[in-house]
Amino acid sequence: MLNITTRTTLLLASAMCFAACGRDRSNDNQASAAGAVDTTTIDTAALTTLGATPATGPGIHVTRTDGKSVTRAMRYELTSDNFSHFLAAADSVVAVASRDSAARAALQSNLTDAGSTDNDAGRKWLEANAPVNTAINQAGISVKDYFVAGIAIAAAERFMADPKAAPPTPSLAKNAEFLRSHASDLQQLHAQETFHPIVISKP
């Protein structure tokens, strides 16, 4: 059995692997949840995206201070239940953006090259968006889990073709195997990240 130090080293090494090798969507996924943010609590000008840490799903941006969420993502196991709630939450986030111009403008904000010293800045900013926060919770998933699941999904996507090639984290290979049967859902999630109308081609 691996000791705590060894397990921690493996987790950190895996996170570095995701950062170095993951698909950087910092340009095409500029959506970042804010909405009616209380700037006395969250300094939106101080947030930053860490482009090397990708996340899948609308409204999710990982900042340099979201290390706890990245670590949780290494252990987060996708299941039919939590993935269905994640998909429902993504639909709800897009729905909020379509009917709320303020939320839409915030979700399309570009946070690149800002800076933050607040712990969990990206997650807290998403939570601070009242309509988006409510929509995610009503879909049966917490904002915390929605945020972490988005990171876990992006990490696992890289290994869908060969789950056995995934770094030895507690759940990454399992998640990659799980996603192999959800390619169409992933395609829709990536389309939703742009907040543009989704056109699904018929066979």
Per-residue pLDDT tens for 79-114?
999 999 999 999 999 999 999 988 888 777 755 445
Question: How does pLDDT run across 142-168, given as a tens digit for each residue?
Answer: 999 999 999 999 999 999 999 999 999
In a domain, 197, yes or no: no
In a domain, 201, yes or no: no
CA nearest neighbour of 91 among 132, 51, 55: 132
In a domain, 74, yes or no: yes
In a domain, 44, yes or no: yes
Q: How many CB atoms lie within 10 A of CB 138?
A: 11
Whole-number Å distance between alpha carbons of 102 and 77 = 34
pLDDT exceeds 80 at position 48: no
Give the range of the structural domain holding residue 117, as residue numbers without chain letter: 4-192
Global pTM value: 0.75
- Total domains in the chain come to 1
What tokens were used for 92? 């709800």
Residue 192 burial by Cβ neighbours in a 10 Å radius (0-12, 13-18, 19+): buried
In a domain, 121, yes or no: yes
In a domain, 199, yes or no: no
In a domain, 198, yes or no: no
- Percentage of the chain with pLDDT > 70? 67
Whole-number Å distance between alpha carbons of 99 and 96 = 5
Element of type H or E holding 7: helix 4-21
In a domain, 182, yes or no: yes
